[in-house]
Chain A
Amino acid sequence: MGRRELRLLESRRLLTLLLAGVFLWSLSSVDWKGPLIHTGGVGAFWNFLSSLFPPDLSPGFLRLALTASWQTLAYAVAGITLAVLIGFPLGVVASGSVPGSPRTGLGLAVAVRFILAAMRSIHELVWAVLFVAAFGLSSLTVILALALPYAGILGRIYSELFSQVPEEPLRSLRASGASPLRVLLYGRLPMALPDLLGYTFYRLECAIRSAAIMSFVGIRGLGFEIQLSLNDLLFGQVWTLLLFMVGMVVVVDLWSTRVRRSLVS
């Protein structure tokens, strides 16, 4: 066993060396002489920053920003809900907690892991482009485009969290005659729940960002309004919309902390 650990250590050192080499080599392709920022770029950026004061806080625009935020949040929540519904059972199977012989369980787990990888290897915007072609600019397009890659991510992480729980209580449940699914219900699930929830909330934050950038394929929401205001060079409005964006993420973060705390105590 000691020898095996040593070999692992050596290969890890080798990998680190290799990656460091790749990084150093990549530096050689950087053009160090040319200017980093294009002419006039500094001025435009400063103009954009300084227009934070004042952001556009007129009642009419605030109402528009609120509607847009609500739209984006609704897409994000619907998308993540569907992602949990798809990702959870797939995560269970991927963790190997299914009835039947260990060999079929392992085979299923490998197959599902592959499906999950395929789902998340395609970006939500690419899914959106595909679904726009199929369903047009409908809510279904956004929700599906969010749900598929997020289900791939959630399923993968869920399966990891399920297999990381301590083994002894599970062994004890098995000794009481519990089948794999019952061990999941009474052992893996309760022990992994705080982490499962925390990670899902974090992914809800990500889904809000993803829902906002769905404007690239023409879906309405916060991103869409940001794009319109940017096109009109109304930076005050852009800042207002960005503040709404940050506000939503902060609220989700606070909510997540509260839920987790109530679970732990």
Chain B
Amino acid sequence: MNFASLNGSHLIAADSISKSYGRVQALAPLSITIGQGERVALAGPSGSGKTTLLYLLAGVIQPDSGDLLLGGQDLTRQKPGKEKAGMVGLIHQQYDLVPHLSVLHNVLAGRLGQWSLFRSLISLVWPQDRHVAEAALAQMGIADKIHERTSHLSGGEQQRVAMARLMLQGSRVILADEPVSSLDPARAEDLLEILTALAGDSGKTLIASIHAPHLMRKHFSRVIGLREGRIEFDIPSEEVTDQVLEKLYNLDQSEPFVWGGGN
């Protein structure tokens, strides 16, 4: 297998992990290693296993078989909690914030793994680590929304709140499920700018499902193409061409697919 960058320290090492939902095999046994600080784009059509792979890496779901090591530890046997939260953080496609809480408390929720129960409780009345949350929101460009009820925010703003929460969580790996799927091109650029800066600042690893080739080339170092739960290619992002992706996304492998072509 062709690894784009093997820098020795494998933060993530998956050895023939697989996952099925009933009779549907979402992920055929596959193996990958990802190093510290890599920026990996996951490409592939709907149902190719991108979300399943991200959820497995996040420890939200467990693999049916295979070994998954994060920072040398077996993730499948680790309970959710402080240590896991310090290792991986996931931005869901639907952001999954608590709509009834203010933006501030939703961001501060990133600290719940570190705070004592007592501190978590009094923070609801006297917000703790407030300056950290303010700084995170400022970096996301939504500092003025800090006291708003989260349900009043637009989808794009909620996504930034979710990222600010992730900043406070301080995990070493950032996973993002379709982070730009609901954004217009300008905002998508903007968001990936923020996301890569967030990862790049402290050498975090970033793994995100992305579809647009120019975004892969600009913001990511490595692209893994998935199709029907299998790895089709694993190449440096410079080598990603429209042709490579056409083949990956093509519904019918025998016919060439034209981007934006439809008649």
Give residues in A with beta carbon < 8 Å to B: 168-169, 171-179, 181-182, 185-187, 190-191, 193-194
Contact = CB atoms under 8 A, between A and B. Distances in A.
B100 A190 contact: yes
A174 B59 CA distance: 11
B58 A173 contact: no
B8 interface: no
A218 B47 CA distance: 71
B165 to A, nearest CB: 7
A193 B99 CA distance: 12
B98 A175 contact: no
A169 B162 CA distance: 11
Most chain A beta-carbon neighbours within 10 Å: one of B60, B98, B109: B98
B60 A175 contact: yes
28 contacts: A168-B92, A169-B97, A169-B99, A172-B162, A173-B109, A174-B80, A175-B80, A176-B89, A176-B110, A176-B169, A177-B80, A177-B81, A177-B82, A177-B84, A177-B85, A177-B114, A179-B117, A181-B117, A182-B112, A182-B117, A186-B101, A186-B105, A186-B112, A186-B120, A190-B98, A190-B101, A191-B100, A194-B100
Contacts of A185: 120-121, 124
Contacts of B124: 185-186
Contacts of A187: 98
Interface in B102-132: 105, 109-110, 112-115, 117, 120-121, 124
Given A177-B169, A187-B98, A172 B92 contact: yes
B89 A175 contact: yes
B84 A171 contact: no
Contacts of A178: 109, 112-113, 120
B120 A168 contact: no
A175 B109 contact: no
A187 B96 CA distance: 11
A168 B60 CA distance: 11
Contact of B109 (A168, A176, A179, A191): A176
Contacts of A174: 80
A84 B109 CA distance: 27
B119 to A, nearest CB: 10
B187 to A, nearest CB: 22
A191 B105 CA distance: 13
Interface of B: 58-60, 80-82, 84-86, 88-90, 92, 94, 96-101, 105, 109-110, 112-115, 117, 120-121, 124, 162, 165, 169
Contact of A193 (B100, B112, B117): B100
A58 B60 CA distance: 70
A148 to B, nearest CB: 28
A179 B58 contact: no
Nearest to A173: B109
A191 B99 CA distance: 7
Contact of A182 (B92, B100, B120): B120
Q: Top 10 A-B pairs ranked by shortest CB distance? A: A177-B113, A177-B85, A178-B112, A172-B96, A190-B100, A168-B96, A182-B112, A169-B98, A177-B82, A182-B120
Contacts of A171: 60, 96
Residue among B58, B109, B110, B120 with max Cβ neighbours from chain A (10 Å): B109
A186 B113 CA distance: 12
A193 B124 CA distance: 14
A169 B96 contact: yes
A190 B105 CA distance: 11
A167 to B, nearest CB: 9
Nearest to B80: A174
Most buried by B among A173, A174, A187, A193: A173
A199 to B, nearest CB: 16
A168 B162 CA distance: 13
Nearest to A1: B22
B101 to A, nearest CB: 5
A173 B105 CA distance: 12
A168 B94 contact: yes
